[in-house]
Amino acid sequence: MADLTPTSALARRLATPERSLTLDALAADWFVQSIEARMPLLGALAGRTDVLPRVRGAWGRRLMVGASAEALAGKPCPFDPPCALDVFFREQGRQGGHGLSKPYVLEADRDGPDLIVRLKVFGIASTWTSTAADRLVEALTDHVDWKALGGPAGKRRVVDLKVGTVHGVDLRPTPTSCRLRLLTPVDDDRATLREEPWGLVARIATRVSSMARWHDADLDVSWDGLSRTWKDLDYDLSSCFSGSVGRASRGRIFTENTLQGDALIHGDLAPVWPLLVLGETLGVGRGAVHGLGRVQLLP
């Protein structure tokens, strides 16, 4: 899974990582910093699919403050190190026909009456965690119209901010079957996942392969053999349901097909188990950067 075209020092580093790791070794080296911001009295918004895209947009606009003119124009940032806007919002290269995954995901949870907004930053992008956290607080406090989203009137503030670090992921024993719970809708733009349910694992694999680059690593994996393995597994998506979400892009609204529910997977899971476990931290599909494709593994 390699076809990166370097356009900057950061892109060159991602294109030519120093290490080659197995999936097990990548899991042991997995590095995530989670920024958690608590917003009082907004907990009812946690399940809304239109909230995190607004948060992401506001956060991106705050990252523009202090960014280089080149980054603002969508070009590689000449700063050393590059500005956070370049790191989090510019495509750093192509990999296997896909854009290299952005090194973060957004999640939302309800804690009583409060909303927890979580920004997870992966690998070497954690160098910019402090800037990401500061701009996120600014975005949530002053640049998201919470009332328009259905929140109560009045100014909302971040009342608590925590940054946690996870270094290494426990792969735990491999079961003979598992339940992949799609906690938030997974984008299914071509409506193919019911006919090709192995596409869920394939999409996770694409994201893991991309995020390995943000860990300064290429994967020592036989992708042809691994893809045959995940296609040979047994899948049951009978409890999943189809839906759609709206997506705004350049002033236009697009509707995307989605899938949500529980996907049962049975068979020789051992070769793909590290992918599934890492997928819990990464999500499935390109919508993970604004809250879609969040998954949970259950026995």
Rounded average pLDDT over 246-263: 80
Q: Distance between CA atoms of 294 and 283, rounded to whole angstroms?
A: 5
Q: What integer pLDDT is reported at residue 4 of this predicted model?
A: 46
Among the ranges given (36-50, 73-87, 189-203, 245-259), the one the predictor scored with the smallest mean pLDDT = 245-259
Indicate if the pLDDT at residue 107 is higher than 90: yes
Q: Does the global pTM surpass 0.75?
A: yes
Q: Is the separation of the CB atoms in 10 and 16 below 8 Å?
A: no
For residue 265, give every residue at least 6 positions away whose Cβ sits within 8 Å of its Cβ, in sequence order, or none: 177, 178, 179, 180, 201, 233, 234, 235, 276
* Nearest C-alpha neighbor of 211 from the set 51, 76, 7, 27: 27
Domains of the chain as residue ranges with CATH:
9-167 (no CATH), 177-298 (3.30.70.1900)
Q: What integer pLDDT is reported at residue 1 of this predicted model?
A: 42
CB atoms within 10 A of CB 295: 22
Q: Which amino acid is at 106?
A: L
Indicate if the pLDDT at residue 89 is higher than 80: yes
For residue 24, give every residue at least 6 positions away whose Cβ sits within 8 Å of its Cβ, in sequence order, or none: 171, 274
Rounded average pLDDT over 129-146: 97
Q: What integer pLDDT is reported at residue 98 of this predicted model?
A: 76
Q: Check the CA dihedral 271-276-278-284 and report its sign.
A: positive
Which among 22-36, 93-107, 149-163 has the top mean pLDDT? 22-36
How high does pLDDT run on average in the chain? 93
pLDDT band at residue 154 using 50, 70 and 90 as cut-offs:
confident
Tens digit of each residue's pLDDT (9 = 90 or more) over 185-209: 999 988 899 999 999 999 999 999 9
